[in-house]
Structure 1
Amino acid sequence: MRLGQTAVVLGGSAAGLCTAGALAPFFDQVLVLERDRLPAGAEHRRGVPQSKHPHFLLNSGRRAIGALFPGFEDDLIAAGGLHLMPSMDAAYLDGAGWSARKRSAMTMIYGSRILIERVLRDKVRELPNVVIREGVTAGGLTFDGGAVTGVEAGERLDADFVVDAMGRGSPVAGWLAAAGWPEPQTQTLDAKVTYTSRWYDLPAERPASWWWRHLVIMPTPDKGEHPAEHDFLVNFFPVEGNRVIACMGSWGLEMPRTTDAFAEVARRVRTPLFADAMERCEPVSEVHLTRSTGNKWRRYDRLRTPPRGLAFVGDAICAFNPFYAQGISSAAGSALLLREHLSRAGRLDDGFGKRFLAAQRKALQVPWRLAMARDQGYECAEGTEKPPEWKRRVLAAVSAPAFSLIVGAAREDDVVDEHFAKVFNLDESLGDMLGNPRVLAGLVRYRVRAALGRHRVPFGFDPRAEPPATDYSTVAAR
């Protein structure tokens, strides 16, 4: 069913590409306007500086992109993406020490942001009615009464529908204000997250002790005196081409900017394994640092009369702390939701925009609340969503122990593990998980068994030693 002649997508990164796939069945022509010149292969570009850091593609995102572009996952793996089970393929340092290996409900596709976008571009270019115009900067919108009718981009492009996918820095709210709409209310919370990454080639032959593919070091639970680096969240993240991204991040702390400082600081994190692994690899990049990590939700859904013929996808409407790996999956979910609403629409009237924004609000609340649950506990956080001090102290006191409780219970209880995987992958809200009687029973049972010293699966292995390679799956099952 066709709903118009032309749709325009502002922005050609992951959010814009997914949106192009969502729009293609409903318009004669879909134009994607991208400011950068796009590389033919998997290469970094100016408009996506975060591509230099690790990116998780959560299961909800995998499914959404697969629904928009059948065969995407197979193509991503064929291009070098890695299909891994983190509980078996990652060495995970949480709480007092290393966790045990065991099979779980969650698998993930590992790959760089530049590979994900290259495969997405290839899928979009297979669509005969989608055109990507490179080197084009949108400078404004055109209007007729309460409707958006086109885009100013060096020339006027008439459009029946426009989607803003221009990211955190999108100017569209300002364009709407200049045309008479009120500025949307904006919820913000910046927990002062900074992260720094460097890319490495893995050795041709992995050391015998490297059963793991991914190394994760969580911040220490120790509240006493300890090196600042013990509060870092650290990843040694595998990507395509036998490469890894070494990444260190923190909330409110200074991070290294030079290669010498990067290597020096790495030696002070909670385990020597991280620095030792880096020293066995060959660096292939400089150090890349990012501070643009605040949570920001432009509440277009609260406008009394949203502009007709305009939608928002990805960071242009709701941007998250990248630590939580929600961005691409949330954007893909919004694009798929848009396709579902377009498939039911008889026409693009005022009601369409309101219905879509209401449904999108409900979907965005899941990742937003997860981000708030962690970031609101930090004293350094600033923004409209900064809680009262008493609430911040409570969140700071309970969030890390609660997370460790859930992770511990998931090691020994398949039902808790299944629901925790759904929450992590944005398939279920944290509230729904904790409201499940069976999950609550599993958490209580684990807590009682832990108090009695009756763990099924050992944990807390010495962080100064190599993580244990033993598969404890059968122990957990018993």
Structure 2
Amino acid sequence: MNAPSSTGPAGLQFTHPYLAVVLGGGFSGMLAAAALSGYADVVVVERDRLPRTPALPTDLPQARHAHLLSADGARTVEALLPGVIEGWLAGGARPMPLPSAPAGPAPQGRLSQRSAQCVIACSRDLLDRVVREQVPALEGVGVLDGTEAEELTGTAEHITGVRVRDTVTGRARRLDADLVIDATGRHSTTPARLAALGLPEVREEIADCGIVAATRIFRAPPGTENCPVITARSHPGGHRDPGRTATLIPIEGGRWLVTLTGAGAGRPSEHADRFVPFARGIPHSVIGDLIADAEPLSEVRLTRDTAGRLRRYDQLRSWPTGFAVLGGAVAGFTPDYGQSMAVAAHGALALREALHRRGLDDPGLARAVQQSLARITQAPWEQTADQAQPAAGRRPSAAGRFVRDAVNGVFGTALGRPPVCRAYVDAVRPATSTARFTRRSASVPLPAAPPAGPRKPADR
């Protein structure tokens, strides 16, 4: 516990009897700090120096690709950090309808677009930057940047703090805390740190679809200020082929962010001269034509490591008090469904709700938070795991096939239908079990796959 009105790391004036340390100053870590504000003084330990430009997590290569924050996710972040949506909009983000039908040629040359649900369209840089600017302004929150966590202190029964090291000087010190939160993302070393304290090995599930993502930013041509979010998806090409996608998102600064995905022989390339042909190779998509004459503002950025990972901390028979793991350090999902940020927000909100119910000094707090995270991640993980089944030569579950077919109906080459889109939006919302959608899949008519025939091959 803190001494009244003492001064701690990051120049923070301690005024609260409790201190929490959050490892990781990315999206999840900052939301965790916001959740803790008011219940404890908070120190956010961040490896990189802040602010960084662009403000992208160095251990999250997917951050450079298309991200859409759903209305549900945005409302959850707003509940934790009032005013954040206003900050995003002031920075150039736009609330836009989620496409419920594929974008394609329409009469008079206009783009056909039917809306289903609002999303926040902007770069991941803007989403992170606004959160990172607002959280340290909260009472009792400080940031210790340029500092890396080395090891947890305490025992297998109770974590008492963390030993950290300055990344420039190498100076090490110990931060004692009443609660430590790991929000360091997909490359978290918590399993090894817990093992060093004598806890059993954490079971990790991996779902790898073999998806490769390629992104390039373009200057939006004059007159396209009201361009919607456009997504196109080819139907799966075979048992082990998840299909190809192209997504165009209008982002701040009068730019378009375009992400292409595919697997196996249908994967995109890092070569700039193959970017437009790949987009044009997706049937009934106008994205390739839209960007053909647009000015590129970046090189093609390629990511091959898109595998989903779930660490089953909830299955450990014992769990130390004073420690919890949130966000990507627990679970990372397939990039196709855009759930990671919403899950991170729901996880931080679960932390706040547990603090409200129990208080920070409750010995069962950390375990309760971890169990809540397991429930929140269950449905998104089911979808990620099911998407990886064909790549592993296995058949997806009935619920997984429904979500896959709904995606093809919403974003595919056949006509999307509003009931399908509503079902899809429900299915990919965090903490919604896909099991109940097996019944709905029998009652909602899904669009049929296009007739077999020659396809225009992608230039790879």
Distance apart, 1:356 and its partner CA: 2.1
1:13-24 pair list within 5 angstroms: 13-24=26-37
The correspondence for 1:167, drawn from 178, 182, 185, is 185
Find out whether 1:317 has 2:330 as its counterpart. yes
User: What SS class does the counterpart of residue 275 from structure 1 fall into?
Assistant: helix
Deviations 1:170-208 (A, max 9, x none): 1111011011111111111111111011111111233xx
d(CA) in 2 for partners of 1:92, 1:422: 25
Aligned positions of 1:347-358 closer than 5 A: 347-358=360-371
Q: CA deviation at 1:53?
A: 0.9
Is 1:151 the counterpart of 2:166 in the alignment?
A: no
Residue equivalent to 2:291: 278
Q: What residue is the counterpart of 1:431 in the other structure? A: 435
Q: Which shifted more, 59-68 or 48-57?
A: 48-57
TM-score by length of 2: 0.82
Distance between the aligned counterparts of 2:71 and 2:254, measured in 1? 23
Q: In the superposition, relative to structure 1, how do residues 348 and 376 fare at CA in structure 2: closer, same or farther (>3 Å)? A: farther
Among 213, 216, 222, which residue is 1:195 paired with?
Answer: 213
Say which SS state the counterpart of residue 148 (structure 2) adopts.
coil
- CA gap 1:303/1:44 in 2 versus in 1, 3 angstroms: closer
Contact kept? 2:22, 2:33, Cα under 8 Å = yes
Return closer, same or farther for 1:401/1:99 CA change in 2, 3 Å cut-off: farther
Tell whether the 8 Å contact from 1:221 to 1:400 is kept in structure 2 after alignment. Answer: no
Q: 1:58 and 2:62 equivalent? A: no
Q: Tell whether 2:85 aligns with 1:73.
A: yes
Q: How well do the aligned residues superpose, as a CA RMSD in angstroms? A: 3.3
| Change over 3 Å in CA distance of 1:266–1:102 after alignment to 2 | closer
The equivalent residue for 1:362 is 375
Unpaired stretches in structure 2, ≥5 consecutive residues: 1-14, 165-171, 456-460
Residue 213 of structure 1 is matched in structure 2 by 228
Quote the Cα distance in structure 2 between the aligned partners of 1:391 and 1:289.
29
Q: 1:419 and 1:427, CA in 2 relative to 1: closer, same or farther beyond 3 A?
A: farther
Counterparts of 1:403 and 1:272 in 2: how far apart (Å)?
15
Give the deviation of 1:368 after TM superposition.
0.8
CA pair 272-369 structure 1, distance change in 2 beyond 3 A: closer
Shift of 1:429: 3.0
SS of match in other structure, 1:25: coil
Q: Distance in 1 between matches of 2:139 and 2:403?
A: 49
- Contact kept? 2:96, 2:229, Cα under 8 Å: no
1:344-397 CA-to-partner distances (Å, cap 9, x unmatched) read: 11453442222222222111102111222322222xx4xxxxxxx563598998
Matched, 1:110 2:121: yes
Query: Does the residue aligned with 2:218 lie in a helix, a strand or coil?
Result: strand
2:9 aligned partner: none
Match of 2:146 in 1: 135
Q: Verify the 8 A CA contact 2:104 2:285 in the aligned structure 1.
A: no
Point out the more displaced range, 243-252 or 257-266: 257-266
How much has 1:269 moved relative to structure 2?
Answer: 3.2
- Larger relative CO (CA 8 A, sep 6+): 1 or 2? 1
Which range is displaced more, 59-68 or 13-22? 59-68
State the 1:400 CA deviation.
4.7
**Alpha carbons of structure 1 residues 223 and 182: separation in structure 2 relative to 1, 3 Å:** closer
- Shift of residue 143, structure 1, vs aligned partner: 0.4
Larger mean CA deviation between 185-194 and 83-92 belongs to: 83-92
Write out aligned runs for 1:65-464 (5 A).
Answer: 65-87=77-99, 91=103, 101-104=113-116, 106-144=117-155, 146-153=157-164, 154-206=172-224, 212-221=227-236, 231-253=243-265, 254-271=267-284, 273-378=286-391, 381=392, 389=393, 391=395, 400-401=404-405, 403-404=407-408, 411=417, 413=419, 417-426=421-430, 428-435=432-439, 441=443, 443=444, 446=445
Q: Is the Cα contact below 8 Å between 1:308 and 1:348 reproduced in 2? A: no
Identical-pair percentage: 30
Q: Is the 8 A contact 2:386 2:400 kept in 1?
A: no
In the alignment of these two chains, the number of paired residues is 422
Gap change, CA 1:41 and 1:237, over 3 Å in 2: same
- Checking the alignment, whether the CA contact within 8 Å between 2:59 and 2:185 is kept in structure 1 is no
- Do 1:80 and 1:240's aligned partners in 2 also have CA atoms closer than 8 Å? yes
2-structure distance, mates of 1:270, 1:110: 24
For 2:339 and 2:43, the matched residues in 1 are separated by 26
Cα distance 1:402–1:419, how it changes in 2: closer, same or farther (>3 A)?
Answer: closer
Amino acid in structure 1 at the alignment position of 2:232: I
Conservation of the 8 A alpha-carbon contact between 1:58 and 1:108: yes
- Using the alignment, how far apart are the partners of 2:285 and 2:395 within structure 1? 36
The answer to whether the 8 A contact 1:59-1:425 is kept is no
Deviation at 1:30, TM superposition (A): 0.4
Map Cα deviations across residues 412-456 of structure 1 (whole Å, 9 max, x no partner): 54xx654432223336333234446xx854x1xx47xx89xxxxx
In structure 2, the CA distance between the partners of 1:16 and 1:223, relative to structure 1 (3 Å rule), is closer
